[in-house]
Amino acid sequence: MAGSTLGTIFKITTWGESHGRGIGVVIDGCPAGLPLTKEDIQIFLNRRKPGQSRYATPRKEDDSVEILSGTFEGKTTGTPISLMVANQNQRSGDYSEIAGFYRPGHADYTFHEKYGFRDYRGGGRSSGRETIGRVAAGAVAHKILGQLGISFTTYTKSIGPITISSFDKNAIWENPLYMPDMDAAKKAGEYLDECMKNKDSSGGVVECVVTGIPAGIGDPVFEKLDANLAKAILSIGAVKGFEIGDGFQAAKSLGSCNNDSFCQSTEKGIHKTTNHSGGVLGGISDGDSLIFRAAIKPTPSISSPQKTVNTSGENIEVSIKGRHDPVIVPRAVVVVESMAALTILDALLLNMTAKMEGICEFYKIR
Amino acid sequence: MAGSTLGTIFKITTWGESHGRGIGVVIDGCPAGLPLTKEDIQIFLNRRKPGQSRYATPRKEDDSVEILSGTFEGKTTGTPISLMVANQNQRSGDYSEIAGFYRPGHADYTFHEKYGFRDYRGGGRSSGRETIGRVAAGAVAHKILGQLGISFTTYTKSIGPITISSFDKNAIWENPLYMPDMDAAKKAGEYLDECMKNKDSSGGVVECVVTGIPAGIGDPVFEKLDANLAKAILSIGAVKGFEIGDGFQAAKSLGSCNNDSFCQSTEKGIHKTTNHSGGVLGGISDGDSLIFRAAIKPTPSISSPQKTVNTSGENIEVSIKGRHDPVIVPRAVVVVESMAALTILDALLLNMTAKMEGICEFYKIR
Amino acid sequence: MAGSTLGTIFKITTWGESHGRGIGVVIDGCPAGLPLTKEDIQIFLNRRKPGQSRYATPRKEDDSVEILSGTFEGKTTGTPISLMVANQNQRSGDYSEIAGFYRPGHADYTFHEKYGFRDYRGGGRSSGRETIGRVAAGAVAHKILGQLGISFTTYTKSIGPITISSFDKNAIWENPLYMPDMDAAKKAGEYLDECMKNKDSSGGVVECVVTGIPAGIGDPVFEKLDANLAKAILSIGAVKGFEIGDGFQAAKSLGSCNNDSFCQSTEKGIHKTTNHSGGVLGGISDGDSLIFRAAIKPTPSISSPQKTVNTSGENIEVSIKGRHDPVIVPRAVVVVESMAALTILDALLLNMTAKMEGICEFYKIR
Amino acid sequence: MAGSTLGTIFKITTWGESHGRGIGVVIDGCPAGLPLTKEDIQIFLNRRKPGQSRYATPRKEDDSVEILSGTFEGKTTGTPISLMVANQNQRSGDYSEIAGFYRPGHADYTFHEKYGFRDYRGGGRSSGRETIGRVAAGAVAHKILGQLGISFTTYTKSIGPITISSFDKNAIWENPLYMPDMDAAKKAGEYLDECMKNKDSSGGVVECVVTGIPAGIGDPVFEKLDANLAKAILSIGAVKGFEIGDGFQAAKSLGSCNNDSFCQSTEKGIHKTTNHSGGVLGGISDGDSLIFRAAIKPTPSISSPQKTVNTSGENIEVSIKGRHDPVIVPRAVVVVESMAALTILDALLLNMTAKMEGICEFYKIR
């Protein structure tokens, strides 16, 4: 089947592989009348660009986005917005070697089994470059949500064994690992230096906090807000786990501790006094901040020797050449945020039809 | 929007609430020619029935399923299979009290905010009884997968702080908590007794292992097998986390450890020598066992006093009356297994169109 | 695949066959807060009931609907509405004969080829009884549209060669053929008497006029309002053609005649002075009445002898026993109206997200 | 909502407007291993190009397609195929005038009502250029169907009052109107000359015959093959009617005439002796040729004076400047064929999961 389309109302379709002509996304269902320039999108793409620290690939990629359709006089028209980033740094020659075997931890083997052959250049469609389409579309979703008062704080919570122990929002942008704790960032940097020395790589955890979501977003049963978030986040390559609110910790907890009390006050109206739920009850937003985490595995491309099988079916030992990110977590931060924005926006648009009252008022019939 | 339909080819739509006429599911897209009796389904429903141990609600519910359509002469016809379980134990009177306030940890408040009012009887659509439709449909999916050589082992991995430390498959069915470790089951039982004494409740973790899935199932990008599994699992009420393979542990790991080597041998063909991936690479099954876990929060209904707000907006203190499960984890085991079966079957059916070669052979044109 | 689910927001799934336990529909995505009783639905079902004239099957079928879920205190709750009509008149014995051959004009052969076998009792899933689910769901859509000021006039435009030559809305309910012209109805009745005498059957045309649809409903490109109407109408068994506005006549027309002029007046605002378009321009409603027609083939069950093949592959001659409607057009009127209501409602709900302005106003953020 | 995505398995998303950067389509779900070059697609695009006769716009448009992703070493990889045709002939200046009023018969008014403003340059998204994406995707579907033995004959059946009275397949390519009857083509040409002289335009009918479809394709109820065809065809701008087999003629017919007898013979197996059904029974292909027709309205852009309203709400008289096609029917032929190919292919792929037997055989488990 397909697999490259996401969303019901705000629907995106991504395309492109590491070494084709480019990477793109078509956004269908974007509301008309949103002011949109390519700079709005470029800012988000820049957050995932490689070459920004010594912990990320030194490849220079411009990743400059073009708006091919869907805007007129600086505003969205309601028709599909086609965005494209041309691939500039294509050196197919580099990949002749990996054509011959299945890299451990990569999708080489599974693509081959599914499709009968594979575009082996730079991982093809399973390359990290595939996320460009997600981030470009996420930037547009982000802008719409901003107009509705919804905002995101997304950061690296841990790298390998190093976890943040304090939270300073400003610190996020002051270290190349996007950690909200400068001490943890320093230790994580040293840990990554060690990984690189050992020709090894590290995983980590990304956390995302979303504020301003009104209560009532998400649908019961299969289209729960957190269920769709889980899908969106797990659909990012290298993500191996998702949790919302207390997550796996809730499994060890007691009901008396895990339940959040409701409280009424003049300033806040009805609200929860704690947020173990992470902002969702029964799959529907509860008016509190949405808080979730994504577990990201270590970069599978490592230069230390590994055992595998070649395409002739022989057991061999390989070392992945080239320089690779010892950790992809910092570059994944904006991808996680983008997937969350896309999911929340779609749920918000779908929610407009929940009540007869809202529908009648919208169509001004009483 | 909707929210009660799941799947692309094998598509299910569930309906019903705790205190309506019944709970049901329509399976649309079930292949024709599958032998199917109501006993095939009843076996699965019995696994989620309450009243089977002192850790589950003592309500007597027969939960007897009827096949209303879609079979003829004992086989599925390819047309929609409508399954229904009548509600027998409806005592709306019991619920007059909770109509007046929002229970902490439940979906009372969020349903009210979304829809303007709510069916407060027994949780309405957000009741645990909603899972009957999932399990009934899952039983059919399970039977089809069985014919394709795919089987499931699902069990309680932990209850509160008590985690299994050994694995005996037979033990799963020998204790009311469905734990594959009799010692752990005993300790968990004692822990739950303590919870009950304290008018409190516990969470836990369910683990599911699926064997026999061929390599190549699942689609790249948004329809990854693990992404759809994550959605399916998080769509179960009370689930707060999902992880596949090493999951959150992978975030602390090194690439050299987390990568699974490929190996070729005469007996096994190409296979992985370890399974940190949990059976999925790049969102596509890798031929190994699928292994994933679901974190389940403590039952929100507890009889100890809690603070909340009533529907008049006043701060009050409540104790939830009636006897409630101190833990829902054991009853969730079959629900988790059902959601996995539905997800895997749909991916397997979708995979049939991945290659021209397979399509041409199917239509016998060469 | 599936095939029994329709709609994006207001999504219906029908189930059931002629001789199973019953026929039903699940409506998922119905807005909360709509007053709904089973009488609202029964009125529509009564319009498609057999046995109401000598031109319709004399079978007595009660077709009494039950609401199994989705309402509370007389109003819809936003959760799935499950509706069911039990089959009461099941005489499987009657069908032992037709089990052995493929009836001309019916789906016997195609179901057999698709699924490998078929439920031959009364046409199984391809029976006219399948439309009960459509009409029950259509009644709910109709009620919502009524609250938004949208109403339907649907009637028989022609029976065989007899076409209406005048229009009297009240006449529709005064003759068993639902024609808005009593003279034509009389002639059509005589024509049908002749058909019955000849053991033959007749086709006809249903026309539907929908007033009150605001301009702007429907989406460009593939989800045009008329495209979705065409699909909905052609999905009714026995429909062989669809046209909107001038339809096939437009193909013979000139641009100068077919174009509708726009005009501005104080009473009507911007409006069209003619309606060759049938209320749709570029797939989007233009504020005028929606007008479309459905061509319905003659009832395939006729008692005069026909040539066909039996399931052993032998050429045989058959006469279909039992008494059958010489025309199904009058009973199709409410089915056509129902499918139109479902299509228009879904488009109307989807349209709420077309503009940033509307979204911001809905969420009261400026 | 969206609206620019079509299909379940073979899913296409089109983008682009008349005067943006280009027009494109993303095909998601194309099976892997199909040999595909841009020439395969260009041949189809050339069939819809303007400037090929004096009855079509004299604009020179190269409409040269590029494959941006989804192929490797000359074959499809199973990942999204992104196709783009750059717009070369953009003269926005030309459109400053029509920005100020609503052209009769066009979507100017409805787009404005839906989205609050419109890209008025060349019709924007409702331009005929939008069909480029359909035809490019249709070319790929056509190639796959060709490998499965399915082929298309599509032609102009009538122009205004001139209908073909004989059928010579070779003639189709020998006249600029694509009519299979040279005499009719000559008369239709004269009729169009007359239209042009009168600053007027003409409609017409396109007919499509598809051979080689196996019995069993299409699904019962809402996803009938003919229902999806009707939607696909009505989604083409300017189409006002659809009929299959005898279509509207069937409404005037008798059952004894309209029913097709089945017959068994050694050469042909079970087949129908006539084809009033047009190749579909109960929404499922019956093994016979699929035959359907599309009614196309006269080109709305005419240079004779018309009454309309300007964007300030004043009644005005306008003449559309520039030279326009007096008829779009010939250029619509390949668009109709493309939409049919897309619909049939998707149904064919979906059909692979209809029977347990086929699934088990596919996965080689017995």
> For all residues of chain B together, what is the average pLDDT?
93
Q: What is the pLDDT of residue C61?
A: 58
The count of CB pairs under 8 A between chains A and C is: 79
Closest CA to B27 of C88, C26, C84, D357: C26
**Chain B interface includes C363 (CB < 8 A):** no
List the one residue out of B344, B339, B289, B353 whose CA is nearest residue B148. B344
CA closest to C4 among chain B residues: B28
Bridging pattern class, strands B290-296 and B204-211: antiparallel
B271 vs B365, which has greater pLDDT?
B271
pLDDT at residue A57, rounded to an integer:
62
Helix (H) / strand (E) element for B187: namely helix B182-197
What's the rounded mean pLDDT across residues C309-337?
A: 92
Q: DSSP label at C334?
A: H
Name chain C contacts of D273, Cβ cutoff 8 Å. 307
Contacts of B109 in chain A (CB under 8 A): 215, 262, 270, 281, 286
pTM summary value = 0.97
Q: Give residue D20's pLDDT.
A: 86
Residue-wise pLDDT tens digits, A142-168: 999 999 999 999 999 999 999 999 999
What's the average model confidence in pLDDT over B4-33? 96
Interface touch D28/A5, C-beta < 8 Å: yes
- Per residue in B182-239, pLDDT tens? 999 999 999 999 999 999 999 999 999 999 999 999 999 999 999 999 999 999 999 9
Helices (H), chain C: 38-48, 108-115, 131-147, 182-197, 225-234, 255-258, 329-350, 356-362
Q: How far is CA A188 from CA A51, A207, A328, in A?
A: 18, 16, 13
Residue whose structure tokens are 């249903």: C206
Interface check for B295 against chain A (CB to CB < 8 A): the answer is: yes
**Chains touching B, CB cut-off 8 Å, 3+ pairs:** A, C, D
* AA identity, residue D135: V
Q: What is the distance between the alpha carbons of residues D272 and C113, in angstroms, rounded to a whole number? A: 14
Give the confidence band of D62 by pLDDT, cuts at 50, 70, 90: confident
User: In this predicted model, what pLDDT tens digit does every residue of A26-56 receive, in sequence order?
Assistant: 999 999 999 999 999 999 999 987 656 666 6
* Separation of alpha carbons A245 and A349, rounded Å: 24
Does A360 contact C at CB distance below 8 Å?
yes
- What's the CA gap between A312 and A294, in Å, rounded? 37
Summary mean pLDDT of chain A: 93
Check CB contact of D303 with chain C, cutoff 8 Å: no
Contact status of C5 with chain A (Cβ, < 8 Å): no
Instruction: Look at residue A364 in the predicted model and tell me its pLDDT.
Output: 85
Judged by CB atoms closer than 8 Å, whether chains meet at C31 and A79 is answered as no
For A163-210, write each residue's pLDDT tens digit. 999 999 999 999 999 999 999 999 999 999 999 999 999 999 999 999
**What CA–CA distances, in Å, run from B124 to A167, A218, A223, B95, C72?**
40, 17, 17, 11, 10
- pLDDT interval class at A63 (50, 70, 90): confident
Mean pLDDT of all residues in D312-336 = 91
CA separation for the pair D196, D299 (Å, rounded): 12
Q: Is the pLDDT of residue C365 over 80?
A: no
Contacts 24+ apart (CB under 8 A), A316-325: A316/A101, A318/A101, A318/A103, A319/A199, A320/A98, A320/A103, A321/A97, A322/A94, A323/A57, A323/A58, A324/A57, A324/A201, A324/A299, A325/A50, A325/A55, A325/A56, A325/A57, A325/A201, A325/A299
Alpha-carbon separation of residue D132 from D62, D124, D332 (angstroms): 12, 13, 11
List the structure tokens of B273: 């020598």
Query: How many Cβ pairs closer than 8 A exist between chain B and C?
Result: 162
Judging by beta carbons within 10 Å of its beta carbon (0-12, 13-18, 19+), is residue A195 exposed, middle or buried? buried
Cα–Cα distance list, C4 to B5, B83, B303, C100, D28 (Å) = 12, 15, 44, 27, 24
Which B-chain residues 66-105 have CB contacts (< 8 A) with chain C? 66-70, 72-73, 75, 77-82, 84
Q: How far is D96 from chain A (nearest CA, A)?
A: 13
Q: Which of residues 38-67 of D touch C (CB under 8 A)?
A: none
Mean pLDDT, rounded, of chain D: 93
pLDDT at D297 over 60: yes
Q: Which residues of C touch B69 (CB under 8 A)?
A: 15-17, 20-24
- Give the residue from chain B lying closest to A112, CA to CA: B216
SS (H, E, C) chain A: CCCCEECCCCEEEEEECCCCCEEEEEEECCCECCECCHHHHHHHHHHHCCCCCCCCCCCCCCCCEEECCCEECCEECCCCEEEEEECCCCCHHHHCCHHHECCCCCCHHHHHHHHCCCCCHHHHHHCHHHHHHHHHHHHHHHHHHHHCCCEEEEEEEEECCEECCCCCHHHHHHCCCCCCCHHHHHHHHHHHHHHHHCCCCECEEEEEEEECCCCCCCCCHHHCHHHHHHHHHHCCCCEEEEEECCHHHHHHCEHHHHCCCEEEECCCEEEECCCCCCCEECCEECCCCEEEEEEECCCCCCCCCEEEEECCCCEEEECCCCCCCCCCHHHHHHHHHHHHHHHHHHHHHHHHHCEHHHHHHHCCCC
CB C57 within 8 A of CB B12: no
pLDDT, tens digit, for every residue of C326-354? Answer: 999 999 999 999 999 999 999 999 999 99
CA nearest neighbour of B237 among B323, B129, B326? B129
Give residue A56's identity as a one-letter amino acid code. A
Q: Could you give the count of Cα atoms lying within 13 Å of B157 in the half-sphere of its Cβ? A: 17
What is the interface pTM, i.e. ipTM, of the complex?
A: 0.96
Mean pLDDT of C2-9: 95
Helix (H) or strand (E) holding D318: strand D315-318
Q: What is the DSSP letter of D298?
A: P
The pLDDT score that the predictor gives to residue B120 is: 85
Nearest 10 degrees: CA dihedral of B351, B353, B358, B359?
A: 160
Residues A357, C33: C-beta atoms closer than 8 Å? yes
- Mutation to test the C interface, candidates A79, A222, A352, A366, most C Cβ within 10 Å: A352
Out of C9, C147, C358, name the one closest to residue A353 (CB): C9
Q: How many CA atoms lie within 13 A of C278 on its CB side?
A: 26
Judge whether residue A59 has pLDDT over 70.
no
Q: Are D147 and B356 in contact (CB under 8 A)?
A: yes
Q: Across the interface, do C117 and B75 touch by the CB < 8 Å criterion?
A: yes
Closest of C322, C270, C7 to residue C134, by C-alpha = C7
Would you state the structure tokens that stand for residue B366, as one six-digit string? 């060469």
The confidence score (pLDDT) of residue B300 equals 96
Q: Tell me if D255 and C200 make a contact (CB, 8 A cut-off).
A: yes
Cβ proximity of A241 and B244 under 8 Å: yes
Q: Domains (ranges, CATH) in chain C? A: 5-362 (3.60.150.10)
Please give the structure tokens belonging to residue C172: 């529709």
The residue among D321, D306, D340 whose CA lies nearest residue D155 is D340
What's the rounded Cα separation, in Å, for the pair B255 and B240?
A: 27
Asked if C48 and C154 touch (Cβ cutoff 8 Å), the reply is: no
DSSP conformation class of C318: E
